[in-house]
Structure 1
Amino acid sequence: MLSPAQAIRISLGSIGSSKMRSALTTLGIIIGVAAVIANVSLGASFNQYFNDEIGAVGSNFIVIYSQNIDVFFDRELEIIENTPGVEGVSPINQQMAKVTYMSTSRQIDIQGVTEDYDEVANFEMDSGTFLTDKDRYVAVIGAEVAYEKFDKKISVKNPIDITFRREDGGVVTRTFTVKGVIKDPNTTFAQTGVEPEIRVFIPIDTMNEILGKDDYGGFFIKAQSLEIVSETADELDERLARALGVPSRDLENDDAKPYIVFDQIEILEQTNQLSAALTSLLTSVALISLLVGSIGIMNIMLVTVAERTREIGLLKSLGYSEKDILSLFIIESIIVGLIGGILGTALGIGGALVANEILDVPDVFPVSLIFLGFFVSLLVGLVAGVYPARKAALMNPVEALRKE
């Protein structure tokens, strides 16, 4: 009866006696396991990257935009403020206007907001402070506006002229004093329309006074927690729909409503689906590599069986059973897979770290991936070794000894 220790010792001896063959056999597993681990890790890194990007846009945010003029007024603002789950809300108006600083003019998006906008949007100030509801002709500008748009950098307390175009066709220019500069959040998500680095923020009351308006273009809202964002967004949707006379049957039809509602959870779900699809695609490609590696192990093991025919016949003549021969070759195949798994896991970790650095995404490497690498390599070794091992175990010892 062949003991496990003897089987392992014989298998290691066989692997060591044919180093080149064993190395080539292991190479397929190394590449396959490394590809699986690197791609799964890359998918997790992208998922974290998307979450970080969305988090930089705002905290527990809900965005409501009107699709027509004269939709939202103070009544709708009051409805939102009194909705359960709402922690803060800022009405929004925006217009592309001409901004002039020291005789240089640029077309820049101007947003009228309240002081709550700062809390909802998670702004970090590079200098100065954000607007308050008591402010009048002051402006807070994005880093790109302050440092790149004009010939000279704009600093806190510098004056800028903003030229607005009213709905009646008239043009109005007012001078604003820069109160603060917002840091660039380095986010690529423009879906919410925040992008503070390229905008100028002024008090919405001042903006409406200049434009002769009393309506709002939308609202930027903060829910009390991320867990109730979707619930709060649905409640806001229902309350606004009732106030604006939208039938309940049209709540799910954005084209039938004069406004659009979306929230942080919706964007997170969309990006998670995207990262999951990306991970699945990358992992599928990696699994093909792993399949090729397992076929390589099977082929090499079949060659090994053919080369060791006389050895198999000798072992059987010495009393080793079919079960002993079967276990001997399966263990050898598993060892090859395990070695490939160890090296492949190390290579996969290194590859993932390099890829994350190149793509500038967070390093996310779940510990479970290490166990996945070992499990997959052992499974591949076991599955690939079964047929060759069975073929060896079923050999006729007399015919095997005659084999030249």
Structure 2
Amino acid sequence: MTDLKQLLVLSFGSISSAKLRSALTTLGIIIGVAAVVANVSLGASFNQYFTDELGEIGDNFIVIFSEDINVFDDNQLEIIRRTPGVDGVSPIKQRVAEVTFMSVSRQINIQGTTQDYADVASLSLESGNFFTDKSKYVAVIGDSVANERFDRSIHTRNSIEISFRRTDGTVKTQKFKVIGVIESPDSEFIQSGAEPDNRIFIPISVMNELLDETDYGGFSARTATAEEVRPVSEQIDRNLARSLGVSTRDIDNDDAKPYSIFNQADIIDQLNELSGALTVLITSVALIALLVGSIGIMNIMLVTVTERTKEIGLMKSLGFTYADILGLFIIESIIIGLIGGILGTLLGLVGSFAVEIYLDLPHVFPLYLILTGFLISVIIGLISGIYPANKAAKMNPVDALRQN
């Protein structure tokens, strides 16, 4: 029985004697492993990106909204406010209205809310202040509205006109004094259904006065900690359903409720599911390349067995056993796979790093990916080498020596 060290020496000698053939054999493994490693790394990076982006806008928010009218009023506001775990809540209502500044008019989203919204939605102001519940005809505008939507920039103390179209078709126009400009958020995600950059915020009482309405479009709430988001959200859902006459058997049926509710945890779950599905899909395609690579190894090893028939016969005549020949060819196959795995893992690391820099994603490369790349390549090398190795090991030494 030949020892493992001698088999390794013979295997490396055989591989190095046919460098071009060995390099071409490993190419399929390199491409396949690189694709798998890069795709899994990118999937982890996207997950981290989603988590970081949502973290910028808070990790404890809950949003309730309805597309129907006259669903929410002060009763629902108090129900949410009294729900254990709620750290802050503000009603919200939004309409698209015509905004005029310096004789230039634009269609802009207007959001009515209360003074608590600045804290609930974690808004930061680059100038001025947010309004209070005692404020009347004042507005706080997003950075994009202030600097991009009109021919000239809007500053605090400037006045704008907002024209609302009521349900009866009449138009109500009111002048508002700008008292604050919201700082452009770092996150590109949308919180509370509204990106503050492109919004104008006014007191919800004034908005209802101009629209001749009394209801709210929804609520933006927050909890003290991220761990409370899901249970508090579920409790709010149950409380609101009961207050709006939803039967007990339909409380868990979203279609039976005249409103929708979501929170940060739900968004992360949905994004992770989407990212996971895309990663699985792309990785499945990459696995095809690995399959092709494994077939390539098997094919080359079969060719090698044919080319080395006399060598195999000579080795058997010198005392090499079935196990020695089997081990020799399996080790060669594993080495080829392992080399492909090492190079493929490095290529996958470099490729994912380049893509993440280009897409401005956080670089996430879990250490288990390195082990995964090595393990995949070893398994492929082992599986691909078993049949050719068994064929070589079963050769009759006399017939092998006679082979031309």
Q: TM-score, normalised by structure 2?
A: 0.94
Rounded to whole Å, the distance in 2 between the matches of 1:4 and 1:156 is 80
Q: Which residue of 2 aligns with 1:215?
A: 215
Distance 1:68 1:15 in 2: 73
SS at 1:234's partner residue? helix
Deviations 1:163-186 (A, max 9, x none): 233445351312222312330445
User: Aligned with 2:375: secondary structure?
Assistant: helix
Quick check: 1:183 aligned with 2:184?
yes
**Displacement, 1:92?**
0.6
**Corresponding residue number in structure 2 for 1:351:** 351
CA drift of 1:224 comes to 2.7
Q: Write the letter of the residue equivalent to 2:172.
A: V
Q: Which moved more, 1:42-51 or 1:143-152?
A: 42-51
Q: TM-score, normalized by length of structure 1?
A: 0.94
Q: Which residue number corresponds to residue 114 of structure 2? A: 114
Please state how far the C-alpha of 1:157 moved relative to its aligned partner: 3.1
1:98-145 per-residue CA deviation (whole Å, 9 max, x = no partner) reads 212222111111111123322332334344443444543332211221
Letter in 1 for 2:148: E
What is the Cα deviation at residue 382 of structure 1? 1.1
Q: Answer whether contact 1:160 1:178 (CA < 8 A) is retained.
A: no
| Alignment of structure 1 residues 176-255 onto 2, 5 Å | 176-189=177-190, 192-255=192-255
For the 8 Å contact 1:141–1:182, the answer to whether it is kept is: no
Per the alignment, in what secondary structure is the counterpart of residue 150 of structure 2?
coil
Equivalent residues of 1:96, 1:107 under 8 A apart:
yes
Query: What is the CA distance between 1:218 and its match in structure 2?
Result: 0.7
**Amino acid of the structure 1 residue aligned with 2:385:** G
Matched, 1:68 2:68: yes
- Aligned pairs (5 A) from 1:246-395: 246-395=246-395
Q: What is the match of residue 153 of structure 2?
A: 153
How far is the alpha carbon of 1:357 from its aligned partner? 2.9
The answer to which of 167-176 and 35-44 deviates more is 167-176
Shift of the 325–133 alpha-carbon distance from structure 1 to 2, 3 Å rule, reads same
The Cα of 1:62 is off from its aligned counterpart by 1.4
SS of the residue 1:202 aligns to: strand
Structure 2 residue matching 1:67: 3-state secondary structure:
coil
CA distance in 1, matches of 2:190, 2:285: 28
Equivalent positions of 1:28-47 (< 5 A) are 28-47=28-47
Percent of paired sites with the same residue? 59
In structure 2, the residue matched to 1:48 is 48
- Counterpart-to-counterpart distance in 2, 1:42 and 1:365: 8
AA matched with 1:284? S
Out of 144-153 and 265-274, give the one that drifted further.
265-274
Q: Is the 8 A contact 2:66 2:218 kept in 1?
A: yes
Structure 1 residues 314 and 329 mapped into 2: Cα distance closer, same or farther (>3 Å)?
Answer: same
Q: What are structure 1's unaligned runs of at least 5 residues?
A: none
User: C-alpha displacement at 1:350, in angstroms?
Assistant: 1.1
Residues 255, 325 of structure 1: CA spacing in aligned structure 2 closer, same or farther, 3 A cutoff? closer
| Alpha-carbon contact 2:125-2:183 (below 8 Å) kept | yes
3-state SS of 1:63 partner: strand
Change beyond 3 A, Cα 1:28–1:98 = same
Cα distance between partner residues in 2 of 1:221 and 1:374: 48
Determine the C-alpha separation between the residues in 1 that align with 2:256 and 2:36: 46
CA change 1:125–1:7 in 2 (3 A) is farther
Contact 1:92-1:216 within 8 A present in 2 as well: yes
The CA deviation at 1:57 is 4.7
TM-superposed deviation, 1:149 = 0.4
Q: SS at the partner of 2:173?
A: strand
Contact 1:59 1:121 in 2 (8 A): no
Q: Tell me the SS of whatever aligns to 1:235.
A: helix
2:40–2:279 contact (8 Å) kept in structure 1 = yes
Alpha-carbon distance between aligned partners in 2 of 1:92 and 1:377, rounded to the nearest angstrom = 56
Q: What amino acid is aligned across from residue 297 of structure 1 in structure 2?
A: I
1:53 positional shift: 3.8
Letter in 1 for 2:229: V
Contact 2:69 2:217 (8 Å CA) reproduced: yes
* Alpha-carbon distance in 2 for matches of 1:94, 1:327: 73
**Contact 2:163-2:171 within 8 A present in 1 as well:** no
Q: Distance in 1 between matches of 2:240 and 2:210?
A: 27
Cα distance in 2 for partners of 1:123, 1:376 equals 48
Counterpart contact for 2:146–2:181, Cα < 8 Å = no
Pick closer, same or farther for the CA change 1:157–1:363 going to 2, 3 Å: farther
How far does the alpha carbon of each residue in 1:230-283 deviate from its partner, in whole angstroms, 9 at most, with x for none? Answer: 221221111112222221122233343222222222222221111111011011
User: Retained in 2: the 8 A contact 1:144–1:184?
Assistant: no
In the alignment, the residues of structure 1 paired with residue 347 and residue 388 of structure 2 have an alpha-carbon distance, to the nearest angstrom, of 28
**In structure 1, how many angstroms separate the alpha carbons of the residues matched to 2:128 and 2:313?**
87
| Alignment RMSD (CA, Å) | 2.0
Matched residue pairs, number? 403
How far residue 205 of structure 1 moved from its aligned partner, in angstroms, is 2.9
Structure 1 residues 346-355 or 133-142, which shifts more?
A: 133-142
Q: Deviation per CA, 1:334-367, whole angstroms, max 9, x where unpaired?
A: 1111111111011101111222233343322212
Q: Give SS of 2:179's match.
A: strand
